[in-house]
Structure 1
Amino acid sequence: MNLSRQEAFDDVGRPRGRVGDTKATLVRRSSSTASISAERSPQLASHRILAIVVVGPRVGHVQMALTSWKAFNFFDVSAVKLPEESSSIFNSDIISLSTGSANIFLGSSDGFVHIISTNFKLVRSFRASETGSIAHIKQIEGTSLLVTIAEDLPSEAALKVWALDKSEKKTGAPRCLSTTHVQNARRMFPVSAFAALDDLSQVAVGFANGSVTIIRGDLIHDRGARQRIVFESEEPITGLEVQSGPVSTLYISTTNRILALVISGRGQGQPARVLDDMGCAVGCLSLDRDTGDVLVAREDAIYTYGPHGRGPSYAFESRKDSVTTFKDYVALVCPPRDTTSKPDTLRNIGIGQADDIFKTTTFTLLDTDLKFIAHSESLVSSVKNIFVEWGDLFLLTTDGKLYRYREKSLQQKLEILYQRNLYILAINLAQKTGVDTLQQNAIYRKYGDFLYQRGDYDTAMQQYLRAIDNTEPSQVIRKYLDTQRIHNLIEYLEELHDHDRATVDHTTLLLNCYAKLKDTGKLDAFIKAPGELKFDLETAIAMCRQGGYYEQAAYLATKYGENDMVVDILIEDSKKYAEAVEYIWRLDPELAYHNLMKYARVLLSNCPEKTTELFIKYYKGQYTPKTEVEAPSMEPQAQPTSTLQSLAAFLPLSLINASAGSKPEVEAPPVEDKATEELVEYQIPKPRTAFSAFVGHPDEFISFLEALIQQDNLKEDDKIDLYTTLFEMYLDTASRQKDAAQKVEWEDKAKKLIEGKDIPISTSSVLLLSDLSGFREGSTLVREQEGLLSDIFRSFTSAKDTQGAIKALKRYGPEKPQLYVDALTYFASSPQILEEAGDELDAVLKKIDEGGLMTPLQVIQTLSNNAVVTMGRLKKYLSDNIERERKEISTNRRLISSYSTETENKRKELEQLGSKPVVFQARRCMSCGGALDLPTVHFLCKHSFHQRCLNRVDEDAECPACAPQNSTIKAIRKRQVESADQHDLFKGELQRSKDRFGVVSEFFGRGVMRPQSTME
């Protein structure tokens, strides 16, 4: 920036803004500003420094008045202590200034360029012009190049490019890479503005006569350059700025206009586009490199312009010398105000002659994004230049003093805002700075505490909600509990759950709050919120149950798969037993079994039929989870939905197709339950595991047992359990019947059960149960089935039931002949029994005689024990036996004679065969039937064969015709011989047989008693 040209354009180049009615506002200067001003001018130490900000009328775009902006002191100001050598340079006639490469470059009126280092020491000075002053200077960022424009009117301005890293051997000065005389159509006017691209491919030079010349070429390597006047106007050029990019735009400001000219890229060659018909003074045009827009400072406001037109503006009525951007701030320098028209009211409040004398310059730093004044102060001396370097802002005054403006840290700025309770601005500042969420939340928390102290509980809660991630929940909860702000507390607790920061206690408290307010809607919304679970499930369910919100508790339990808890709620809380059975029937087999066994007695008491059916299905292996199917509705009718229907949607079955979120307003009747066709595989429990569930429910138990025994694939132990228990239940039910007909009916069922085939009930069980129940027929049937016929008969004889004994004898005697012997003993036990038996004694004796059960002698001995039966009763029996014995003896004698004769004949035949010749008269072969021819084989049995018809012919050859019979005889004889040594066999047969004499006779016949040699 060339500040030496301000006076030349003061009358011509400084536009006069159109001022309407103005509003004066007094802004009190901070104590720090006053102290700085006091340092600069001790005479002001006793006065309060006030900055007067004048707001003018709105022009064009909406203007934001600075009078409504908060003013702060966000910068620490310090005077730079310059070394003596550098101080003299700053006090000299410095015309131009530029920064870059961590250095300050100063252009003086005597043609020298001075380079100042970081510690403000003079690095070097060199002459850049022999005759003219260095009117403009620019260090190319990121390079070692320096551009200077020297003026010596009426000569043309000279533009030079210097290589700071190269030196001339003779002078030691930087090497001048190129020199270009800037042309202005031979019109000699001072250079009023200057701008260049970063690669120096184009340089724009503006003149006081209103023309702009563009220099294009390789200025670095001095390969020639072309100059062209790209813009001309009647107003002087007050500023030039270049926005680089794919399309490079040159912004031109005159005293009356703001224009944009594309110098490279799309649109190049087109005339300059007028952005505004109002211009600005020299130094009042600045480029914001962050946005690419330019700032224009006029007397009435600060305006922004882009390539396509004007942007937002900020009303600030005051003359302005310069505008500069620094970080996020806009720096303004306002010259002393004209005091000729100072209102009397201002004089009356203390602004008097002293202010008129000093005529201070105002320096202001604005944050246009957040709309606050970051720093403002009044300066006694005029500002010569403002520049940015080393991260700080520097201000050079006309009296050679240099001031450093260093921005306070974010924490310091926040503390200032906290002191003034400007928490919203603090939050915006923190967000703009990009601090992390943790620090932002700390501000929200402080803001919330401030609002809470003021009693603005609702707004305070909003801040606490924003800071919920880094705030100890108990602190906020305790506050709102103390003030009984339940609605706010609910809001905070809900947010805790949304952020997954809620504990069991938080869930409990939230549900208690819902219950206290009886806000069922919010409770439903809380538990039915979509997405992942954000609270402790068990706590929520427990609180809903305690508060009586059973449907909500069941909903939660169902939605998150807590099926056991759903059944608990339906049975223990809601007492909806039928729905509980239906719900259990929709569970997987393992879960269904667990819940069925847990609540079997309760369900059987309140819903016996459905529960018994479920038991039967499950224990028969036919259990299949049900699904609810709605029939097409003919006439929709509003009906309340049952709890089961609202819960069915969340069952863990792919078959369930009910709605998951809400209850239908119209339910279509009827609704039927259907099971899937494919059975679900599961481990069928043993039937006895269900027995205890039916205690106190005999009818349902009998139905269960009767259904299970119909199965074909029952295991043996399960059969025993089922049949035995069912038999017991039949007898128990019969014993409880008061009506005789019903008792007989149940006893018949028990009798039929044990009469069946392959009934696996143990004899001892049936006998025991029958005895305990007084069911005599049961004992009889079991003894009969087990073959205990003697026990049956003895049970009648023990009871002196002669008729029963006779019936049993007739029924079981043919199967068990020994009963006739027992009956004989029983009939002869007493005269009364003999009389009751009547003719049955003769029938028994006949059976004994026919079956050979006893010898007559044994019969006589048996009947003679009690002397009840007389010989007259036995006369017929004895005579029949004697006659039969006589006939048998006669028959035996005839057989003996026949066997003796046959034996003698065989013996004689053997003797003849051994001593006399045998004549063979057979003519045909016994094998083939053909006529005999030699050679012929004859056997002593009178059978003859061709030799060829025999398999073998030797001395041991045997007649083929007699061989089978001989083999049988030999085998019998062999067994007889072998059995002669098997004494154990003889003893065993002797012990087992009742006719031992017959056994001895049989073994005598086998030759057991003969010597071994005789047998052979």
Structure 2
Amino acid sequence: MSQVELGWRRFNFFDKFIINDPEKPGERFLGLKDVVVDCCASVGDVVYLGEEKGAVFRVTKDFKEYFWRCFQHSLAHLKAVGAILLSVGKDEPTESLIKIWNTDQLEKGSPLLMRTIRIGHAQARTSTKCTMVTGDSNLRAVAIGFDDGTVAVYIGDILKDRAVTSQWLRVRDSSPQDGPITGLCLSTLSTTSGPMFVLFVLTPKIIQSHLIENKTIMHTLRHNSPNMNGVDRMCWAFDEIRQELVVANRDMVFFFNAQQCLDPNNTQGKCHALGRAHDTLQLVEADGFIALLTRQPALIPTSEAEWMSLVSVYDVNNKYIGFSCSLPSACTLIRLGSTIMILSRDGTLSALVPKHLNAKLEILYRKNFYDVALSLAKKCEEAVDKLPTIHAKYADYLYSKGDFANAIEQYKDTMGHLEPSYVIKRFLDASKIQQLCAYLETLHAKRLNNSHHTTILINCYAKMADKSKIRKFVEQTTKENCDLEAAISVLRSSSLYEPASLLALKHQMHGHHLRILIDDQRKYDRAIRYLQSLDPIIAVDYLEEYGRSLLEAQPEETMKLITKTVASIKENDFDASRLLKVFIVDSSKSTQFIETIIDKVPPICALTLKQTIIELRLREYVREKGNLQIDTFMSNVIPLISDDTEDHALQLARIFDCPPLQRFILERSEKKSPDLIQFYIKQGKLKDLIESCKKRKDRSLWLETLVFISQIREPIEERLLKEMLDEISSENLVHPLVVLEILSRSETLKVSTVREYVIQWLQKQEKQISEDKKAIVESEKRMVEVQAETEKLHFKVQTIQAAKCCACATALQLPAIHFLCKHSFHVHCFESYAEQADACPACAAKYTPSEQRIAQTEKLMQKGAHAIFQNELKNSSNGISIVADYVGRGLFSATSNTAASVRASHSTDAPRNNYSTNPFDEDNGDERSSNTTSSGGPTLLSRQISRVGRVPSGTKPQTISRNPFDESTNPFDSDE
């Protein structure tokens, strides 16, 4: 039966190359010609080939070789353990020897012989030939086998122990019926109790394993199977890394793991069927591959020459033949490192070199063997990035064959590399919905999905009506692996309201849950209960959105919910006006809501609520205009009118045409006089306008009223006009000339209407003229007196004889201050009572009206006098009198201009006039500087002159500075 019939697929994954001589390029390597290999041992990149006559050839990877004679008579077996080579054979025909060589050291052209151990009848308890030797990887144990089936083990340091010959442990007694020992494998297992050794014993009839611990045989297992009895000498291999024994016979390849031998009941190993009726000559394991050398007849074998050798390389894990070659002559397989070599009888050495992975994959692609390609790529670390491509090709191949179930399994392994839309499009058909669900579920599990994938998956569940999967999806879904909003939207569109509500509730998506309850299921009572369970701050947000629907469905419960929610929120935590939109078409409930919360909100929110309730009241006013009591309406609205709300309320009153409210707002605010006049004008209520003007006493309002009257073409009640003119005259709000100028524009008024008003004004003016004439006479008389007093002060000696202080009425003591007004003070009394540094405290309170006017004139020189003048002129009903008063106080005189120019010169640091205004300054060149008082004290004559404002005739004009930063003229400010 061929390999194909047994399920083995055949590929050409190896290239056969003939090895050339490294020293003679172009010629074949013939260093092993005529070598008959009876045993071999491989370690690393070195192989040792032994001949039966005792010669050993050492070949390296670069094909450098040398040989030495290991035994003089015969060589039975070789075992390489690192740099140590164990060999068993005979130097004489009678006795077997074990020779231990150090291959790293050469001595006379051969490795260093470290030790020779004789195996006599006493040690082995047999006189038969030793056929096999082996050791573990650390050379802590050595085992030997004989041709009668006997096996002995030495445990210890065989290189250093002296009593080796007497410490052999007999593992197996002689069993001639089982045949000679054809193979020995020794493996070390590490356990908690210490190292344990597993010894595999192979004969042509049986395979056994012996478990040895502390130099004691724990148990022995016999590995038998229907197709396995024993193994020939070179038809086995042991992988020390995997601790696995591989044996082959005519029909099968068997694998025995040393770890499994710890179980006394585990006697079976795994096996793979090979081609039958092939005599296995040799087995070599290299890099995961098993190379078998078998013999098969050419046609009808009649002689030895008609038999052919067949070399096959098996990948048992992936169950394919990677190389197969028939050779016409006998050959030997050699493992050199990870390369399998073929040594032909003629000395030709060939190497089986694996092809590159890409070449292997191309071969597999052409044959659609994608499963094998996956196995190859998984074994190679460099090919990990090729796996998605292989899975994609494999999936496409399976899809083309109609194997959708397996195709989708392969597509799952392409996630992250192959675009999911490519796969989804191929499985959108209703007949493939199961596979599509499986793919999308995996996509969600790997968190590679987006909202569209979630939508498709939910749609698939909906079409399948698989409630269990939908429930499982809801239970396993998280925010990280799913677009929750998309999932809920799909469930709602498929009328799967309960799962959608459960998903929203699970992830606290309050808005979606309420939307399902209210918009889809119409379960308003559940929605209200759910809102009650939320935090009030959160509930307000959703009441703003869904409160209108709830109010329409269950008004009483909704109002209770809103009131309770707002009441539970602390002040300043939210803006309650946001909930007004809930009552947009229900003014009564809106008013009720505002009245409930208006005292519980911050001022800025209260303002908005007041404005809103005013608007609601006005809407009610318009709606029930015929039935609504004006007094009741005003009593409800007036408490809401304040300085903050009156502008908005006035605008609303105009929009809704509510004259009572307009009138109230306009009359309460002084800033809205023009608006009040316009209101009365539009209403045509002159009487009300006049009454309002009387209450407010606003000049601009009276002017507007006069203009309005002058424009009326209908007859005006004469009594009202006279009443208004009397009010204007009594309060002196508007100048009569202005009144007459405005009223003269009227086309309906008669002179008789204003005649009495004009006569009264003329009489007042005549009386005022006579009073002014008397005042002029008195002022002229006073001026003469003042001028005489001034001349006396300038040109006559003033004798000051005051003996007491005018402030404390005690005797004067120096230092003292004397004024030309005959008042004298102690310095400390003056500083305590004086309000000005250059004015007598006693005379300051006795200024005559003319002197007060002089003081007021001095104030005119201060900064801001012009603005004061403009303000008084604007607000006065008699502008002429204001101008005359300021002219009389010297605002427009040359003196004030001169003072202003002097101040300007001082501000620019111009040179000052050498003439001082103080006649008592010592550095003044004028003769008056020598005049002194009789008491010898200082005087303030210059300040008195400055206060009177007159200069004697015949003197030089003085520049009187008003700059507060000028040098003081007070003689007591100096240090002298």
Q: TM-score, normalised by structure 1?
A: 0.57
Secondary structure at 2:239's aligned position in 1? Answer: coil
When residues 852 and 447 of structure 1 are mapped into structure 2, their CA distance, relative to the original with a 3 A threshold, is closer
Check the 8 A contact 2:458/2:491 in 1, yes or no: yes
Q: How does 1:432-447 map to 2 (within 5 A)?
A: none
The answer to whether structure 1 residue 311 and structure 2 residue 267 are counterparts is yes
The answer to whether structure 1 residue 326 and structure 2 residue 285 are counterparts is yes
Shift of residue 113, structure 1, vs aligned partner: 0.6
Residue 644 of structure 1: aligned partner: none
When residues 386 and 510 of structure 1 are mapped into structure 2, their CA distance, relative to the original with a 3 A threshold, is same
The CA distance in 2 between the partners of 1:300 and 1:909, in whole Å, is 158
- 1:916-951 Cα offsets, whole Å, 9 max, x none, are xxxx99999988889999xx9999999999999999
Shift of residue 323, structure 1, vs aligned partner: 8.1
Residue 914 of structure 2: aligned partner: none
The CA distance in 2 between the partners of 1:939 and 1:95, in whole Å, is 152
The answer to whether structure 1 residue 530 and structure 2 residue 410 are counterparts is no
- 1:542-594 Cα offsets, whole Å, 9 max, x none, are 6556545577778878988999988988888778899999989979999988x
Shift of residue 267, structure 1, vs aligned partner: 0.8
Query: Which AA in structure 2 matches 1:494?
Result: E
- 1:860-900 Cα offsets, whole Å, 9 max, x none, are 999998486899xx9xx999x99x99999999999999999
When residues 176 and 72 of structure 1 are mapped into structure 2, their CA distance, relative to the original with a 3 A threshold, is same
Secondary structure at 2:184's aligned position in 1? Answer: strand
Residue 267 of structure 1: aligned partner: 214
569-578 vs 851-860, greater mean Cα deviation: 851-860
Residue 80 of structure 2: aligned partner: 140
The answer to whether structure 1 residue 782 and structure 2 residue 666 are counterparts is yes
When residues 890 and 606 of structure 1 are mapped into structure 2, their CA distance, relative to the original with a 3 A threshold, is same
The CA distance in 2 between the partners of 1:433 and 1:932, in whole Å, is 125
The CA distance in 2 between the partners of 1:723 and 1:608, in whole Å, is 23
The answer to whether structure 1 residue 292 and structure 2 residue 243 are counterparts is yes
- 1:764-800 Cα offsets, whole Å, 9 max, x none, are x848944971515633651464288899799989989
When residues 275 and 744 of structure 1 are mapped into structure 2, their CA distance, relative to the original with a 3 A threshold, is same
Identity of aligned residues (%): 22
Secondary structure at 2:438's aligned position in 1? Answer: helix
Check the 8 A contact 2:610/2:645 in 1, yes or no: yes
Q: How does 1:49-64 map to 2 (within 5 A)?
A: none
When residues 563 and 759 of structure 1 are mapped into structure 2, their CA distance, relative to the original with a 3 A threshold, is closer
When residues 473 and 678 of structure 1 are mapped into structure 2, their CA distance, relative to the original with a 3 A threshold, is same
The answer to whether structure 1 residue 191 and structure 2 residue 129 are counterparts is yes
Which of 93, 96, 107 aligns to 1:157? It is 96
Which of 18, 26, 50 aligns to 1:106? It is 50
The CA distance in 2 between the partners of 1:501 and 1:713, in whole Å, is 52
The CA distance in 2 between the partners of 1:865 and 1:774, in whole Å, is 33
Query: Which AA in structure 2 matches 1:311?
Result: T
- 1:622-675 Cα offsets, whole Å, 9 max, x none, are xxxxxxxxxxxxxxxxxxxxxxxxxxxxxxxxxxxxxxxxxxxxxxxxx98996
- 1:197-232 Cα offsets, whole Å, 9 max, x none, are 366676443334565556789877998854444227
Check the 8 A contact 1:724/1:766 in 2, yes or no: no
The CA distance in 2 between the partners of 1:780 and 1:152, in whole Å, is 143
Secondary structure at 1:485's aligned position in 2? Answer: helix
The CA distance in 1 between the partners of 2:362 and 2:431, in whole Å, is 32
Check the 8 A contact 1:771/1:779 in 2, yes or no: no
When residues 587 and 216 of structure 1 are mapped into structure 2, their CA distance, relative to the original with a 3 A threshold, is closer
Check the 8 A contact 2:517/2:523 in 1, yes or no: yes
Check the 8 A contact 1:163/1:176 in 2, yes or no: yes
Residue 761 of structure 1: aligned partner: 647
Q: How does 1:503-902 map to 2 (within 5 A)?
A: 506-519=453-466, 522-523=469-470, 525-526=472-473, 529-531=476-478, 533-534=480-481, 543-544=490-491, 547=494, 713-714=603-604, 730-742=617-629, 745-750=632-637, 753-754=640-641, 756=642, 760-761=646-647, 766=650, 769-770=653-654, 773=657, 775=659, 778-779=662-663, 782-783=666-667, 785-786=669-670, 833=717, 866=750
- 1:343-394 Cα offsets, whole Å, 9 max, x none, are xxxxxxxx9x979999989999898975969699999999997654454567
Query: Which AA in structure 2 matches 1:737?
Result: E
Q: Which runs of 5+ in 1 are unaligned?
A: 1-26, 31-67, 338-350, 618-670, 914-919, 952-957
Secondary structure at 1:735's aligned position in 2? Answer: helix
Query: Which AA in structure 1 matches 2:662?
Result: G
The answer to whether structure 1 residue 230 and structure 2 residue 169 are counterparts is yes
Query: Which AA in structure 1 matches 2:441?
Result: E
Shift of residue 105, structure 1, vs aligned partner: 1.9
Shift of residue 185, structure 1, vs aligned partner: 1.9
When residues 193 and 944 of structure 1 are mapped into structure 2, their CA distance, relative to the original with a 3 A threshold, is closer
Check the 8 A contact 1:243/1:250 in 2, yes or no: yes
Check the 8 A contact 1:251/1:258 in 2, yes or no: yes
Shift of residue 312, structure 1, vs aligned partner: 1.6
Query: Which AA in structure 2 matches 1:761?
Result: D
The answer to whether structure 1 residue 182 and structure 2 residue 132 are counterparts is no
Query: Which AA in structure 1 matches 2:50?
Result: L
Check the 8 A contact 1:284/1:298 in 2, yes or no: no
The CA distance in 2 between the partners of 1:371 and 1:960, in whole Å, is 128
Q: How does 1:338-353 map to 2 (within 5 A)?
A: none
Q: How does 1:972-983 map to 2 (within 5 A)?
A: 972=852, 974-975=854-855
Residue 115 of structure 1: aligned partner: 57
The CA distance in 2 between the partners of 1:583 and 1:194, in whole Å, is 88
Secondary structure at 1:778's aligned position in 2? Answer: helix
The CA distance in 1 between the partners of 2:883 and 2:61, in whole Å, is 144
The CA distance in 1 between the partners of 2:780 and 2:66, in whole Å, is 169
The CA distance in 1 between the partners of 2:590 and 2:885, in whole Å, is 65
- 1:512-564 Cα offsets, whole Å, 9 max, x none, are 43343344554564466434544667765665565455777788789889999
Secondary structure at 1:137's aligned position in 2? Answer: strand
Check the 8 A contact 2:492/2:500 in 1, yes or no: yes
Which of 421, 424, 434 aligns to 1:487? It is 434
When residues 544 and 743 of structure 1 are mapped into structure 2, their CA distance, relative to the original with a 3 A threshold, is farther
When residues 194 and 289 of structure 1 are mapped into structure 2, their CA distance, relative to the original with a 3 A threshold, is same
When residues 603 and 243 of structure 1 are mapped into structure 2, their CA distance, relative to the original with a 3 A threshold, is same
Check the 8 A contact 1:937/1:944 in 2, yes or no: yes
Which of 235, 241, 246 aligns to 2:184? It is 241
Residue 283 of structure 1: aligned partner: 233
Shift of residue 191, structure 1, vs aligned partner: 2.0
Q: How does 1:913-928 map to 2 (within 5 A)?
A: none
The CA distance in 2 between the partners of 1:889 and 1:419, in whole Å, is 132
Q: TM-score, normalised by structure 2?
A: 0.59
The CA distance in 2 between the partners of 1:78 and 1:168, in whole Å, is 37
The CA distance in 2 between the partners of 1:853 and 1:126, in whole Å, is 145
Secondary structure at 2:51's aligned position in 1? Answer: strand
When residues 121 and 215 of structure 1 are mapped into structure 2, their CA distance, relative to the original with a 3 A threshold, is same
Shift of residue 289, structure 1, vs aligned partner: 2.8
Check the 8 A contact 2:144/2:184 in 1, yes or no: no
Check the 8 A contact 1:469/1:499 in 2, yes or no: no
Query: Which AA in structure 1 matches 2:855?
Result: R
RMSD: 7.9
Shift of residue 103, structure 1, vs aligned partner: 3.9
Shift of residue 737, structure 1, vs aligned partner: 1.7
923-932 vs 962-971, greater mean Cα deviation: 923-932
